[in-house]
Structures are given as C-alpha cells and as structure tokens.
Amino acid sequence: MTSLASKTRILVVGNGMVGHHFVEQLHQSSDNVDITVLCGESRLAYDRVHLSSYFSGASADDLALTTADVYREWGVNVVTNAIVTDLLRDEKKALTEDGQVFPYDKLVLATGSYPFVPPIPGNDQEHCLVYRTIDDLIAIENSARESKVGVVVGGGLLGLEAANALKEAGLETHVVEFAPQLMAVQLDETGGDVLRSKIESLGVTVHTQKATQVIEAGEQSRYRMVFADGTFLETDMVLFSAGIRPSDQLARKSMLALGERGGIVVDDNCLTSDPDIFAVGECALWQNRIFGLVAPGYTMARAAVSALTGGDTVFTGADMSTKLKLMGVEVGSIGDAHERTTGAQSYTYFNQPEGVYKKLVVDESQQKVLGAVLVGDTSDYDTLLQYALNGIDLPENPETLILPSAGAAPALGADALPDTATICSCHNVAKSDIVSAIDEGCCSLSDVKSCTKASTGCGGCTALLKNVVDSELEKRGVEVSKAICEHFNHTRQELFHIVKVNGITSFDELLDKHGTGLGCEICKPAAGSILASVYNDYVLKQEHLPLQDTNDIYLGNMQKDGTYSVVPRVAGGEITPEKLILLGEVAKKYSLYTKITGGQRIDLFGARVDQLPDIWEALVKGGFETGHAYAKALRTVKSCVGSTWCRYGVQDSVKTAIDLENRYKGLRAPHKIKFGVSGCTRECAEAQSKDIGVIATENGWNLYVCGNGGMKPRHADLFATDLDTETLVKYIDRVLMFYVRTADRLQRTSVWMDNLEGGLAYLQDVVMNDSLNINADLEAQMETVVGAYQCEWKTTLESEASRKRFRQFVNTDGTDTNIQFVSERGQVRPATELEKSKGADNLIAVDVI
C-alpha cells in the first residue's frame, strides 16, 4: 500500500454509490488514513441503479452496498443523518446542522445530485413526489395505496425507471415528456418511436411534446395536469423525474469555483479550486460536463484516490454508452448515436412486427464504429461496444453485425478482444484484469466478480463478462457452469429433470430445495414453463401466477394500445358456419377488429381487459377453446383441403391436421410451436417452414422437423418417409417431448436441433432407434400432458376469484378511457396520440352494444 502522511484525516461528505466507492478504494490503497464519512440519509450507501426492484420485492437491505459493521472493520467512522451546512475552508472544518464540527486535512465532496422539479404551480402538493431515494420509494408506496392513476413527468432514462416503479405498484401509468420522443439523449427518432410503441404495449401511456402549465384539482382524479396546448390529464399522483441537478449548494456557499449552470469545477485529478478539496460523481463538473451515470463517478473516485496516494490515474472523461432493460424492453445506446460526427454514415435494421430497431453508425471510411442504437434486442451490444471502444476494424460488410439474416459476420468473441479491452466500465476492469484474476486462482464467475468488482455496478457488462470468464476457464481445462441464472446452479434441462423425477409441483418448492434467493425474470418463467410441460396444470393457479408474463396472466396478447387479442382455436383451419357466425356476432357486439391469419385462425383485436371474460364466456359456450396465441405452446396446425376436395390430394390432410392439433393443444414448450400438414407434394400448407411439417405421399406421410419462419427462417429437415399415421404420431410425440426436455429456455426447435451434437442424424437415432432408451418415457410423458389438457379460459370462467383479476383497475369497476379507436376500412383500429389530442372526426369511443 502507498502511504500518505501519518494518519491523514480524510472527510467524505456524501455516502451514495460514488462516495462509498471512494471509501472502498481508499481503504484498499492506503493504511495511513483516518476516514470519516458524513452520510446525509439515515441509511448507508445503497444501489440507486436498481431502485425500481424495490417494488418487485427487493428490500432496503437487498439494495445495501455496505453496513456499519463493514465500515467498522475498515476503521471508517461514519455518521448518518449528518447534513453539512458550512465549510470553514481556512480552518479546514465542516459544520453540520446539528452543531457538530468535523476537522479534515483533505475533503471529498460526493454530494451527488438532486431531482429537478419543474417550476410548475401546484408542484408542491402532497402527492407530487420525486424518485431518487429509498425514502422517496416509501412515499411513493404510501401514495400508491390511495391512488389509481400515476403520471411520471420526464421520458428520459430515469423517468422510464420511475414509470416502471408506478406500474409495479399497480397504478394506471402515464409518462409526460416535453421533447418529441422518449430518451432523446440516448436514442435517435426512430429508436424513440419503437421504444414508445413497446412501452405503450405494456400498458403505459406516453404523452410527448407536453408542457405542463399548472397542477390543479381534478374532477375524476385527485389532480389535473393542464398542458400548454390546452389538453389536460387527470391523475392521483405526479412523480417528477425530469432530470437531475448537481448538489453544489455547499460548494457555492463555500465560494468554490462552479460552472455557469452549476456543478463543482474539477480538474483531471478531481481537485476543486481548493487544493485540499476534491469533488467526485454527479456534483462534479469536468470540462463543462456533468456525468449522470455511475461508471464515470466510479472513475472519478479512483482518480481522486490516486491523487491522494501519489498514483498517476487521472480522469479523462468517460464512455456514456448504456445497456438496460426498461419494463422488460431491451435498450442500448453506444457513442455517437445521433450521427453528429462529420462524415458519419449509418446502417439500419427495422423489424416493425417484432419491435426491433438497430442502427450502426460508422465513420466515413466504413472502418470504425462510432455509435449504435438498439431497441427491442440488445444481443449485439457487447460486440458493437468493443468495436467502438477498442477501435477494431469492421468486417467487410459492416451491416452483417446487425442484420439477423445477412449471412456471416460473426459476433466478436472473447478471444478476439485485445487484453486492453474494457469489460466493465463501472469499475474500470479490462480483459487483462480478468485473465490475471483467473491465473491467480479465481475458478468461477462469482469469484471473478468478487475479485475484480466487474459487473457489480450497473450490471450492463454481465453477459460479456461471462463470455470472457467462460472462454478463459475452458482454455485452462475448467468445466464451465451452464447455470440458468444465479438462483439455480442448473441448466434448464437439469431443472426439467429435477422437477419430473422429484415430483416438484411449485416454484417455491423448487427454489427451496434446489435454488437460492427469490428468483428472477429468467428462472421464474422458465420454471413456469417446465411445470406446465410436465403436469399441464392450470397456469393461473395462485402458486403459478407469479411465474407468468402479462400475456399468460390475461390469456391474451396485449396490443400496442393496451387492449388484448382474442384468438379461439380453429383446429386445422376447419370451422363450421355456426362458429363463423358466432365469431362475427362477438366481434360486432364488442366492436373488435377482425382478421384471418396466416395460421388459418380468426383473430379478434381491441378487447379491453374487463371485456375478456364476457367475450370468452360466449365463445366457450359456442364450442370454442383457447387458441394459446399468448403462450409458448402449440399455436396452430395449418392444412390444405387435402384429398377430400383437391384433385391432387393423396391423403386427408384436414383430418390429420385436426387430430394433431387436438392432441398437442396446450403443450407448453421452451418456445412457440407451429405445424403444417399438406395433402400432397404441392405443399399448399407450407409444412416445410414449420417446427413439425407433415406432407402426404402415396404411401403415407413424410415427416419434416425443426423448421421455422419469422426473423431467421429455416427450412425443416426431412426426418422420415412414408410413415403410417400411428408411427407418425409416435415420432412427433418423441421429437416434441425430447425438445421440451432438453432445449434451453426460449430456444426454437431449429436452434435446438442445430445445437445437438450430431444434429439431425443424432435426433433420428434417438427417436427411431431409441439409442438413449427413453422413448417409452417420452411417450408416457406426452400421454400425461395430453390427458391433463384443459381449456384455460373455461377453467378461468368457472372461478369467480379468477374473473376478478380482469377488472381494468384494482380498486374500481371503471374502464380505461384512454382506449379509443378510429374507423378505417369498415373496422376499428387504435387511435394515434395525435388523433386523440385533436379529436379526429372518425374518433369513436367503443361501448358494448
């Protein structure tokens, strides 16, 4: 350790994430310091990055970064509820509001920032809150108990995090943003539009280009927000998250140099205009910039420690790239996302149906990455970031880095990264640091995290860190864990085996006996899928309910305007006139948009959540069943008319399609499954683009497996020829159950088979030759699933408690008045925000006839 002068007194004002990191780094770097920390809150440092997890079950202790015992062990004196009011710079003393005096030799200001509240009349009322601290969360929680509707003012990163908090608290949630788009700093216009669409599809209403003029008493809700354009929005709670301002009041009072718009001016060593005072984090202004992410703050803290201990680390700015999940929506932004660099050019990929947008910004020579925008899919983020940070030359066709089916440019693997590549920007951990940690004895991802602190900040580098660690361990002959997540040291395949062999019937039992912690967004739905695949139990039982996503919870796909689709099963595409008439009557009664799909079903769109039980009651009574369009399960079995009608047909494809659909309906799997059955080789049912394809021959059926359409189309492989119907069904039973048992989570059949060692030939050997001696078990498991089938909507309708969950709001029978439609081509469609605000001529409010 480097020594300072004997027992130099270091006083740290502020104990946020950056202040705590400074203390931790200084403790590790010098043993000749006497550290005192003045913490303005009642709690010691905690994780502000993941504040919204408080509303999904995390406690204040879960968010804590340290404890009084840890500081005591380090020899750090810490005082909570210590608000510093004055600095006596000449005497080197800090005074607190309760009269305490703290002397120092060196002072570190880590006072952070405070939330900006726009100067709007009425912004100081009881239920007008901010989102910054755990105390703020408690206030929001208390307000939510008395509220139905909540509005977040601010559509930036923090605003959307706050919106997630309100949504988690069970409120009807709105976001009001002054700018024309969401996250205008990180995303371009198209990226902002895609993000808006995805967030609105989750039930959060977004209002852009809105300037609030006053918050006054409401008529239907507690408050009314009146906007400059004459419109208004009623709400019970207003949550301000419109940006931050540096907490520089103490520095201002002490006559330290400040920026024109605030912030404590610092140099590369994070020294202020006083040579004995440092400033780090969001209160510090470096080259006229405030850095509002945790990673730059940590870098500042390390620079300050280096200056104090005689090191040569300085602060030279920071990469502001970010990857995060907002309400489950993946978002990434790298470097020059707005193409502001002279000569910059861009490649874009936009898959509107899937809600995926990617933009790659390159230099004029198309040799280097300048920036990127990713919305809906951030799987390319780590690769693109390393290209950008390390100046790696682009491949011959740069667009292949973001285009899913462009062919061949590979992701940048761990081995391709230079040793100097930064893996974790929060803690400044390079690839070489990870390699050194492994060489010094770290044998797991958790060991490397503990040793280097990588991925313990914002967490955005987790996937890349795992790739590097796995690669380095495998080089050394260490078996790498394939654990599904941190809560289960098992793969999905192993969890399936555990559930089946041990007769485990609930997630709580699985977690108690074979896992740790509380579970997460990875293992919960995976376990829910496994339990459904093994037992085909009602997925909305109380013990299974927390495992389901929004679509499964409401047994329907949520659409962009917050309404739901109604998709009855039409086995094989065959439907009677009576059922057609019933669908028409239901669609007419509830003013639903009606469309015949490529999967030979009829989709009905635009149903409010409170209408779903009544709609399905009519459909179930008329003989329909759920179509599982919301589930990772069998969706459809498409067929042609076959030998019954077609002069080319050689087998009855309709009957076979209906029999197969009725057999496998309700089968839950790692991903959705589609079948096709064609009555001859003309292939009118497009069976070779399906997970299971069946094509008639003169001698029986040809079976194709593991194809799919979608973003990455793949033709199915011919598995067996000229099968009789009984053998066909046996083979399908075995293939599907082997897939359900061994695939990774969210893995399509095509990817699953490609990843099997031996591919198609291996699968044929397992299914046709019983090489693993498991076929009897696979068939028996399928019979269990088939025998346990139930229409989930029929079961739901039979329970009054289940029906209550379909109320629009928890504490009222009212409906969402923001759901509005316009008439187009003789049907309804969701109204745009512009049409709603201007009151378009064809705007209609839909009520049941």
Binding residues for siroheme: 684
Token couple for 657: 């399609």
**Cα–Cα distance, 636 to 658 (Å, whole number):** 10
Token couple for 92: 């080197």
Helices 507-514, 523-535: axis angle to 10 degrees equals 110
Residue 685, SS3 per DSSP: coil
* Beta carbons within 10 angstroms of residue 67's beta carbon: 12
**Cα–Cα distance, 403 to 308 (Å, whole number):** 48
Q: Are 465 and 445 in contact (CB under 8 A)?
A: yes
**Cα–Cα distance, 86 to 846 (Å, whole number):** 61
Token couple for 169: 């608290």
Helix (H) or strand (E) holding 212: strand 212-217
Q: List all residues 6 or more positions away from 847 whose beta carbon is below 8 Å from its beta carbon.
A: none
Give the closest residue to 463 by CA, choosing from 408, 522, 406.
522
Token couple for 195: 């993000």
Q: Are 39 and 82 in contact (CB under 8 A)?
A: yes
Residues forming a β-bridge with 225: 215, 233
* Beta carbons within 10 angstroms of residue 731's beta carbon: 21
Rg value, the chain, Cα: 30
Q: What Å distances lie between residue 145 and 180, 672, 830, CA to CA?
A: 32, 38, 31
**Cα–Cα distance, 686 to 388 (Å, whole number):** 43
Helices 17-29, 294-309: axis angle to 10 degrees equals 30
**Cα–Cα distance, 701 to 694 (Å, whole number):** 6
DSSP state of 16: S
Residues forming a β-bridge with 633: 668
Which residues are part of a known binding site for [4Fe-4S] cluster?
640, 646, 680, 684
Angle at 425 between CA 424 and CA 431, to 5 degrees: 40
Token couple for 24: 């931790």
Helices 725-742, 759-769: axis angle to 10 degrees equals 120
Place of tokens 């009349």: 121
Token couple for 521: 């967004």
Place of tokens 């803690």: 427
* Beta carbons within 10 angstroms of residue 622's beta carbon: 16
Q: Give me the DSSP letters along 768-831.
A: HH-TTS-HHHHHHHHHHHHHT---HHHHHHT-HHHHHTTSSBTTBS---TT--EEEETTEEEEP
* Beta carbons within 10 angstroms of residue 762's beta carbon: 14
Q: Are 711 and 403 in contact (CB under 8 A)?
A: no
Q: How many helices (H) and strands (E) does the chain have?
A: 27, 38
Token couple for 492: 């999905």
Q: List all residues 6 or more positions away from 502 whose beta carbon is below 8 Å from its beta carbon.
A: 513
Token couple for 831: 């109204």
